[in-house]
């Protein structure tokens, strides 16, 4: 099957150009001057399918490098399966996800990874890969990390939060980071001081402060900034490359910036919720509504300026990319586990469907350039996580993961509008987007176009990743 995407503006991380994109089978065959011919023949007449992208942007498919489909967490499990979550991703122009395989204390890393392969295989609409959560750092799990690179898993996540669940103490972190430095594995860190947070949680609950709002009070910015600093210092000592996930506090970004200025291999990711939503308006919503916005790190105070600082960090490259940390829980039967006790609300927000649209709003409002939009949502994730060349770029030989995005289009987000996530509410209800995902190709197959959805479970394949380009 050959496809010609004609008349569009091809946007990359470094520029934009009027060009036609020729797709042959699963890969991009050529990026051509508009109106190019083949041996004197009109190209459009020689291909199987023509996609008219006139007046639209043609961008590499989005890469969401932080999702949790079906994650067992908080006494329940994330409500999107690999099937429903990757379908929603496709609708929103995301053609690759990187999810997290889980190993807990006392479990074998190999078993955790095999379990996640079993959940995802044959279910995904778009391509997928895994990071490895090491929730129990011990001699066995450290030894098992040796084989991760061969499995195509080149990054792992540790938690300074969630004592008794995924938590690692400093001694465990030090040992895992030594491995990371030896093997060239990227250490991903959930940087919040879990034990100190648990004290505040206990004190707040004892004072009768049980509403979702207090989730944000207990997880104060100092908890994130302190843990970020500690992780940076342990990374500095061991030489482990460090990637801090879901950064939300401006003081944490400051820690990253200081380390980067010193020349340390330290990176940071933020998420749409930390750019748009706030402690006051959302976590502090009346009644139990704030539960929709309970995630960790938490939403931050707008009065303190954290959201503006995240945009600034994206402009200055103190933050390198935007993932969703998609971890959806329904209000009914899941979030409501925490009625009367905010600490029992399962942590997570669902956004995998909306990341490309939400981040495009940064272009519309002038927070970031068009090229930076592509960079932080696709190109840098590909480079950071060892997929670049195949993913994150429109160039000959790359996978034909392509999105046609209409800047004149409009997208209304809401349960009865654009909503394909398996979730009984949307944290993004009522958001009006200037722009629209018109056509989505994944490895040359059209998943979404004006006629609707054409994807299927099992189209998405596991992507074996190489080492991060940022470590070389």
Q: Which residues bind ligand URP (CB under 6 A)?
A: 68, 190, 246, 295-296, 325, 327, 347-348
Which residue lies nearer to ligand URP by CB, 57 or 166? 166
Distance of CA 79 to the CA centre of its chain: 17
Angstrom distances, CA of residue 348 to CA of 67, 323, 334, 429, 471: 10, 13, 11, 16, 30
Which residues, in sequence order, are CB contacts of 91 under 8 Å at separation 6+?
Answer: 353, 418, 420, 437, 440, 448, 453
Which residue lies nearer to ligand URP by CB, 306 or 372? 306
**Nearest approach, Cβ of residue 158 and Zn ion (Å):** 10
Place of tokens 């709002």: 213
d(CA 314, CA 337): 35
Residue 438 found at the interface with Zn ion (CB under 5 A): no
Nearest CA to 213 out of 273, 297, 290, 268 is that of 290
- The helix/strand/coil state of 56 is coil
Site for Zn ion in 287-326 (CB under 5 A): 325
**Nearest approach, Cβ of residue 119 and Zn ion (Å):** 16
Task: Extract the tokens encoding 196.
Answer: 């100190």
**Nearest approach, Cβ of residue 385 and ligand URP (Å):** 16
Which residues, in sequence order, are CB contacts of 233 under 8 Å at separation 6+?
Answer: none
**Nearest approach, Cβ of residue 166 and ligand URP (Å):** 8
**Nearest approach, Cβ of residue 283 and ligand URP (Å):** 12
d(CA 389, CA 326): 25
Which residue lies nearer to Zn ion by CB, 28 or 218? 218
Is there a contact between 58 and 11 (Cβ–Cβ < 8 Å)? yes
Is there a contact between 358 and 307 (Cβ–Cβ < 8 Å)? no
d(CA 382, CA 378): 6
Which residue lies nearer to ligand URP by CB, 159 or 388? 159
Positive or negative, the Cα torsion across 7, 11, 12, 14? positive
- The helix/strand/coil state of 76 is strand
Question: Which of ligand URP, Zn ion, none sits in contact with 347, Cβ below 5 to 8 A by type?
Answer: ligand URP
Run of H or E including 203: helix 194-206
Query: Which position's Cβ is nearest Zn ion?
Result: 190
**Nearest approach, Cβ of residue 295 and Zn ion (Å):** 8
Which residue lies nearer to ligand URP by CB, 351 or 461? 351
If you write DSSP's letter for every residue of 422-468 in order, what string do you get? S-SS-TTTT-EEEEEEEEEEETTEEEEETTEE---TT-S-BPPP---
d(CA 157, CA 173): 10
Is there a contact between 182 and 176 (Cβ–Cβ < 8 Å)? no
Question: Which of Zn ion, ligand URP, none sits in contact with 363, Cβ below 5 to 8 A by type?
Answer: none
Task: Extract the tokens encoding 51.
Answer: 């996609």
Q: Give me the helix-helix angle, 170-183 and 221-238, nearest 10°.
A: 50
Question: Which of Zn ion, ligand URP, none sits in contact with 9, Cβ below 5 to 8 A by type?
Answer: none
Query: Which position's Cβ is nearest ligand URP?
Result: 347
Q: Which stretch binds Zn ion (CB under 5 A): 91-99, 174-182, 190-198, 339-347?
A: 190-198
DSSP 8-state class, residue 107: S
* Candidate list 56, 119, 131, 190; residue touching Zn ion; CB under 5 A: 190
Residue 354 found at the interface with Zn ion (CB under 5 A): no
**Nearest approach, Cβ of residue 17 and ligand URP (Å):** 37
Question: Which of Zn ion, ligand URP, none sits in contact with 88, Cβ below 5 to 8 A by type?
Answer: none
d(CA 345, CA 335): 5
Residue 260 found at the interface with Zn ion (CB under 5 A): no
Residue 355 found at the interface with Zn ion (CB under 5 A): no
**Nearest approach, Cβ of residue 291 and ligand URP (Å):** 12
Is there a contact between 252 and 225 (Cβ–Cβ < 8 Å)? yes
Residue 399 found at the interface with Zn ion (CB under 5 A): no
**Nearest approach, Cβ of residue 103 and Zn ion (Å):** 15
Which residues face 41 on adjacent strands? Answer: 38
d(CA 338, CA 73): 13
Question: Which of ligand URP, Zn ion, none sits in contact with 295, Cβ below 5 to 8 A by type?
Answer: ligand URP
**Nearest approach, Cβ of residue 252 and Zn ion (Å):** 13
Which residue lies nearer to ligand URP by CB, 179 or 190? 190
Which residue lies nearer to ligand URP by CB, 30 or 196? 196
Site for Zn ion in 116-175 (CB under 5 A): none
Which residue lies nearer to Zn ion by CB, 277 or 393? 277
**Nearest approach, Cβ of residue 173 and Zn ion (Å):** 14
Which residue lies nearer to Zn ion by CB, 154 or 442? 154
Segments in 106-169 forming alpha helices (H): 109-120, 139-144
Size of residue set near Zn ion by CB under 5 A: 2
Which residue lies nearer to ligand URP by CB, 102 or 439? 102
Which residue lies nearer to ligand URP by CB, 140 or 198? 198
Instruction: Please report, as ranges, the residues that interact with Zn ion according to CB under 5 A.
Output: 190, 325
């Amino acid at each position: 099957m050959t496809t010609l995407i004609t008349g569009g503006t091809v946007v990359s991380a470094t520029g934009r150009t009027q060009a036609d994109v020729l797709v042959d089978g699963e890969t991009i065959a050529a990026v051509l001057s508009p109106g190019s011919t083949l041996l004197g023949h009109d190209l459009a007449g020689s291909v199987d399918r023509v996609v008219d992208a006139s007046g639209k942007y043609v961008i590499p498919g989005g890469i969401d490098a932080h999702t949790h489909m079906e994650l067992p967490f908080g006494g329940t499990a994330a409500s999107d399966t690999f099937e429903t979550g990757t379908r929603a991703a496709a609708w929103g122009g995301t053609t690759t996800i990187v999810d997290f395989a889980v190993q807990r204390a006392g479990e074998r890393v190999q078993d955790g990874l095999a379990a996640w392969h079993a959940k995802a295989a044959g279910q995904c609409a778009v391509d997928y890969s895994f990071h490895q959560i090491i929730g129990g750092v011990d001699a066995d799990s450290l030894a098992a990390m040796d084989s991760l690179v061969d499995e195509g898993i080149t990054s792992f996540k540790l938690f300074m939060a969630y004592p008794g669940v995924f938590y690692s103490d400093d001694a465990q972190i030090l040992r895992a980071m030594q491995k990371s430095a030896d093997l060239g594995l990227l250490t991903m860190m959930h940087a919040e001081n879990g034990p100190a947070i648990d004290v505040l949680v206990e004190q707040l609950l004892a004072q009768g402060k049980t509403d979702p709002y207090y989730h944000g009070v207990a997880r104060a910015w100092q908890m994130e900034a302190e843990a970020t600093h500690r992780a940076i210092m342990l990374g500095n000592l061991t030489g482990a490359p460090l990637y801090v996930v879901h950064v939300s506090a401006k003081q944490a970004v400051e820690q990253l910036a200081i380390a980067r200025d010193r020349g340390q291999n330290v990176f940071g990711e933020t998420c749409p919720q930390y750019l748009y939503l706030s402690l006051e308006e959302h976590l502090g919503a009346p009644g139990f509504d704030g539960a929709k916005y309970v995630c960790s790190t938490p939403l931050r105070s707008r009065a303190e300026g954290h959201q503006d600082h995240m945009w600034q960090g994206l402009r200055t490259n103190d933050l390198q990319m935007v993932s969703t940390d998609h971890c959806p829980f329904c209000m009914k039967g899941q979030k409501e586990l925490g009625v009367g006790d905010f600490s029992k609300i399962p942590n997570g927000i669902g956004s995998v469907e909306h990341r490309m649209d939400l981040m495009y709003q940064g272009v519309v409002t002038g927070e970031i350039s068009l090229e930076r939009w592509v960079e932080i949502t696709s190109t840098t994730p590909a480079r950071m996580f060892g997929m670049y060349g195949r993913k994150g770029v429109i160039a000959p030989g790359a996978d034909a993961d392509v999105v046609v995005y209409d800047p004149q289009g409009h997208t209304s987000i809401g349960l009865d509008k654009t909503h394909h996530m398996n979730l009984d509410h949307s944290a993004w209800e009522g958001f009006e987007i200037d722009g629209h995902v018109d056509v989505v190709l994944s490895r040359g197959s059209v998943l979404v176009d004006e006629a609707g959805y054409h994807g299927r479970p099992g189209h998405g394949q596991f992507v074996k990743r190489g080492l991060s380009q940022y470590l070389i």
